[in-house]
Chains A and B, each alone.
Chain A
Amino acid sequence: MNVFSMRTVRGLATFAVIGSSVATASAQTPTSRIVSAANTFLSTLSEKQRQSVLYSFDDEKQRATWSNLPTSFVPRGGIPLRDMNAAQRSAAMALVSAALSAKGFEKVQQIMEGDEVLKATDSGQPPRGNNGNPPPPGAPNGPPPGNGGNRPPMGGPPGGAMFGKDLYYISILGKPSEKNPWMVQFGGHHLALNITIAGERGILTPTLTGAQPALYTSNGKTVRPLGQESDKALALLNALDENQKKQAILSFRLADLVLGPGQDGKTIQPEGLKASTMNDRQRAMLLDVISEWADIIHESAAAARMAELRADINETWFAWSGPTTAAPGKNITAYYRIQGPHLVIEYAPQTLGGDPALHVHTMYRDPTNDYGRGLTAK
């Protein structure tokens, strides 16, 4: 059984919440639940840990300290799960869980689990070339082929590994409050959740999700953390007629995210196919793709967000670059982008590490409201 399965965490969280704070047991709204989960988490920490976790709400530097890269390369603020005891860890995950939907929390867990797989299979091993021959499980990897001996430092930084679910960091910006805005950040390799809570509003932008391996087996079950993002988008592409495809499919390659980490506050010129030229079914499919990101946040915030994006749908663009098919049961190897007045979604398979179907970075933004700026800047 997965130790971080939702049920376990929720159970622990519920236990912790009830056990630590009877006064908050009557909390009803999502925000009040998140606030009490945050306060519970903070109460489990030592004074020193608390100081490491807490930042001022307007700390722009910490806000932007997130990345797709392993934490050894881009140090995150806050404290990692590694430095927490079991209770603190549970409380931290309970806070994340409270802020997210069940589906969103599951996605986060799968991304973290994927990194654990990566750690188990890759740590300390030199990179292999772009050939498609996987080493048999347990067999030693071959020597690095033709990279001119330029081996990335897989030994990791001093002080330990660079992958694994221990290396996800949590930080809180501002004081957890049901009225005043504050933030929870949770992330590590291939994950950056920036959750702004402002009254009953919950904002997830900007958020980065990624996966490597983007397909693995856990307990005999095949897991694709971002599989729906891949499948739903491909289904939408296939639902387009030839003329629409011609507009949606860009003639040039997109090697990476355009608006990845560090690219806050930018609205690029939209390209591709405008959803106003789609039929109702296609538009519904587009919204369904979008929901893979919009629904990561807790259900009531997700509903508000989806309503906003539904209202924008005719001003929303869909662009695709790369192969228009995928191997059965595997992710697409194409880049796509969905962009609207309040939305940028990018899905960017990564060629590094071999098969781009197995490594993906995605970005979810609201250029008008990243970090809840649209709500808090008044």
Chain B
Amino acid sequence: MNARLLAGAAILLSLGAGAFAHRLDEYLQATIITVEKDRIQASMRLIPGVAVAPVVLASIDANGDGVISEAEQQTYAERVLRDLSITVDGESVRPTLVSEKFPPIEQMKEGLGEIQIEFTVDLPPGEPERRIVFESHHQNERSAYLVNCLVPNDPNIRILTQTRNETQSFYQLDYAQSGGSSRFASWKVWSTVRGWMGAVGFACVFRLGMRHIAEGTDHLLFLLALLLPAPLMVIGSRWAGFAGVRQSLLRILKVVTAFTVGHSITLALAALGFVPVPSRPIEVLIAVSIFVSAAHALRPLFPGREAAIAAFFGLIHGLAFATTLAELGLGRWARVAGILGFNLGIETMQLIVVAAIMPSLVLMSRTSAYQFLRIGGALFAGFASLGWIAERLLGVHTSVDLLVNGVAHRGAWIAVGLFLVSIVCWRYPQNSNWLHRVVLKHRSVFSAGPEAQERNG
């Protein structure tokens, strides 16, 4: 036979390495993606080369018995999918394993075995322009990847770009999807909102809002000082007795709502960049607002117009909230979601505080003991506000923060204690007479009118 002769005559020019027919030192991971209207189908072919097959096999054949059991097949396929990060429009999604098929273990040892894994990813309806990212973390150091998408069968889906890193372990697919339904439209609104919320970490901003109120004692002090006289009537130029449950609740509601409306407006305007936020003057004004409400709690300065005052100073407090939000460095639309979340957090915390305090105020205000709380509270707030004004205006150091924070830290206990005291005062009005007497003795200091004491006594 001449073939032998021919082979002998053939001179090998440069076979630098032994020639063999199969994959050697790489783990080839080839994925083909099909984009459909509401899901992605993907098929993976995994071919470990001869040199890497032992490593790959060791991770497949977990018990090392030389047989790849059904359970080991499934476990490995799931692991491959776990090692795959997939995001749809920035949202992390999980693939669903559809099938897995393994070659005989002997073929794999020879670098010829091809593992086939099929999976799907459900797509929530979204914007017309979508982005899907696949990133494989499976055996990165020894793998070569091939990732491609098929030309979509759906004429409404148009592939825009495919972006990959050098090894193709990262793959980004941008495509446009047209021809939406009404279901799509409503989903679009939802996903947009969700997108914003996701972008700023809605829960995070919400908690920040709550914390801002819980720890930003100046806002709370303003509100509480303003609420102190809420259950009371005004007679002449002095605070008088209980104005009635309905009236009290209505006033509290009005003040809280007005404050909310006020700070929401400026928070939104400032966060969106319509209003500049000079931080220091705002802080001073906030301290002033506390002083004003404390003074009002001592003597009615603007009886019946608490809501208006609350709204007015709410505007100033809102600017301070915006500063906090601005520190997060969010984009404009993310900030809109931020405002929403932050504000809801603030409102929630406010409501918690008001709900904790309000029953005590309403109960206690029916007794003469309430004077003590009102005046004590007002003095505390007034003192604190003066300290803050001095601190913020003159830059001097006072221990106001320390004091107020000390009180605020024990806020829950104080609220519980106050509630217990108010119940006692309400149940046994005669036991609170000593307070009454104290108040009477120091009439010159306290501002309650004699009528009030007479009525309650």
Listed in ascending order, the chain A residues whose CB lies under 8 Å from chain B are 2-3, 68-70, 73, 113, 116-122, 125-135, 137, 141, 147-148, 150-154, 162, 164-166, 189, 212-213, 215-219, 222, 251-256, 258, 262-263, 266-271, 351-355, 358-359
Contacts of B54 in A (CB 8 A): 148, 150
| B148:A258 contact, CB within 8 angstroms | yes
Contacts of B151 in A (CB 8 A): 267-270
B112 contacts chain A at the CB level, 8 A cutoff: yes
Would you list which residues of chain B between 16 and 30 have a CB under 8 Å from chain A?
16-26, 28, 30
| A73:B21 contact, CB within 8 angstroms | yes
New A-B contacts (18) at CB < 8 Å, excluding given A213-B12, A353-B19: A3-B2, A73-B110, A120-B10, A131-B16, A134-B12, A150-B51, A150-B54, A152-B111, A166-B3, A219-B6, A219-B9, A253-B167, A269-B151, A352-B49, A354-B15, A354-B16, A354-B18, A358-B14
| A126:B18 contact, CB within 8 angstroms | yes
B254 contacts chain A at the CB level, 8 A cutoff: no
| A353:B51 contact, CB within 8 angstroms | no
- Please, how many angstroms separate the alpha-carbon atoms of A148 and B19 in the complex? 18
Given A73-B110, A217-B10, A255-B28: A122 and B144 interface contact (C-beta under 8 Å) = no
Given A216-B12, A256-B28, A258-B30: A355 and B3 interface contact (C-beta under 8 Å) = no
B71 contacts chain A at the CB level, 8 A cutoff: no
| A147:B112 contact, CB within 8 angstroms | no
- A112 CB to closest chain B CB (Å) equals 10
B162 contacts chain A at the CB level, 8 A cutoff: yes
- B350 CB to closest chain A CB (Å) equals 54
- Please, how many angstroms separate the alpha-carbon atoms of A154 and B110 in the complex? 10
| B16:A128 contact, CB within 8 angstroms | yes
Number of interface residues of B (CB under 8 A): 50
- Please, how many angstroms separate the alpha-carbon atoms of A73 and B14 in the complex? 26
- B61 CB to closest chain A CB (Å) equals 16
- Please, how many angstroms separate the alpha-carbon atoms of A205 and B196 in the complex? 50
Encode contact with A along B26-59: 1 for CB under 8 Å, 0 otherwise. Answer: 1010101000000000000000011101100000
A73 to B, closest residue via Cβ: B112
B159 to A, closest residue via Cβ: A269
A270 to B, closest residue via Cβ: B151
| A266:B112 contact, CB within 8 angstroms | no
Given A121-B19, A132-B16, A164-B3: A351 and B24 interface contact (C-beta under 8 Å) = yes
Contacts of B30 in A (CB 8 A): 256, 258
| A120:B8 contact, CB within 8 angstroms | yes
Contacts of A217 in B (CB 8 A): 10-13
Contacts of A218 in B (CB 8 A): 6, 9-10
Contacts of B13 in A (CB 8 A): 213, 215-217, 222
- Please, how many angstroms separate the alpha-carbon atoms of A262 and B24 in the complex? 20
Contact of B18 among A141, A166, A262 (CB under 8 A): A141
Contacts of A113 in B (CB 8 A): 6, 10
Would you list which residues of chain B between 130 and 161 have a CB under 8 Å from chain A?
144-146, 148-151, 159
| A252:B167 contact, CB within 8 angstroms | yes
A-B residue pairs, 9 tightest by C-beta = A354-B17, A255-B144, A120-B7, A127-B18, A354-B16, A352-B24, A128-B17, A252-B164, A3-B2
- A234 CB to closest chain B CB (Å) equals 19
Contact of B11 among A137, A150, A162 (CB under 8 A): A137
- For A120, A131, A189, the residue with the greatest tally of chain B CB atoms inside 10 Å of its CB is A120
Given A117-B10, A256-B144: A266 and B32 interface contact (C-beta under 8 Å) = yes
Given A69-B112, A118-B19, A251-B164: A269 and B150 interface contact (C-beta under 8 Å) = yes
Contacts of A271 in B (CB 8 A): 162
B166 contacts chain A at the CB level, 8 A cutoff: yes
B181 contacts chain A at the CB level, 8 A cutoff: no
DSSP majority for the B interface? loop
| A353:B166 contact, CB within 8 angstroms | no
B365 contacts chain A at the CB level, 8 A cutoff: no
- Please, how many angstroms separate the alpha-carbon atoms of A137 and B11 in the complex? 8
- Please, how many angstroms separate the alpha-carbon atoms of A367 and B162 in the complex? 21
- A selection of 21 A-B contacts at a CB cut-off of 8 Å is A73-B110, A119-B7, A120-B7, A127-B18, A127-B19, A127-B24, A134-B14, A147-B50, A148-B51, A166-B3, A212-B21, A213-B15, A252-B165, A268-B32, A268-B148, A268-B149, A269-B159, A269-B162, A352-B23, A352-B49, A354-B19
Contacts of A118 in B (CB 8 A): 19
- A265 CB to closest chain B CB (Å) equals 10
- Please, how many angstroms separate the alpha-carbon atoms of A219 and B225 in the complex? 106
B106 to A, closest residue via Cβ: A153
- Please, how many angstroms separate the alpha-carbon atoms of A122 and B25 in the complex? 19
Contact of A116 among B3, B107, B145 (CB under 8 A): B3
Given A122-B19, A134-B12, A269-B149: A165 and B3 interface contact (C-beta under 8 Å) = yes
- A166 CB to closest chain B CB (Å) equals 7
- Please, how many angstroms separate the alpha-carbon atoms of A256 and B150 in the complex? 17
- Please, how many angstroms separate the alpha-carbon atoms of A276 and B107 in the complex? 45
B368 contacts chain A at the CB level, 8 A cutoff: no
Contacts of A355 in B (CB 8 A): 14, 16-17
- Please, how many angstroms separate the alpha-carbon atoms of A218 and B162 in the complex? 44
- Please, how many angstroms separate the alpha-carbon atoms of A132 and B30 in the complex? 29
B422 contacts chain A at the CB level, 8 A cutoff: no
Contacts of B7 in A (CB 8 A): 116-117, 119-120
B266 contacts chain A at the CB level, 8 A cutoff: no
Contacts of B50 in A (CB 8 A): 147, 150-152
- Please, how many angstroms separate the alpha-carbon atoms of A377 and B49 in the complex? 38
B343 contacts chain A at the CB level, 8 A cutoff: no
B371 contacts chain A at the CB level, 8 A cutoff: no
Contact of B146 among A129, A141, A256, A269 (CB under 8 A): A256
Would you list which residues of chain B between 49 and 86 have a CB under 8 Å from chain A?
49-51, 53-54
- Please, how many angstroms separate the alpha-carbon atoms of A137 and B22 in the complex? 23
Contacts of A141 in B (CB 8 A): 18
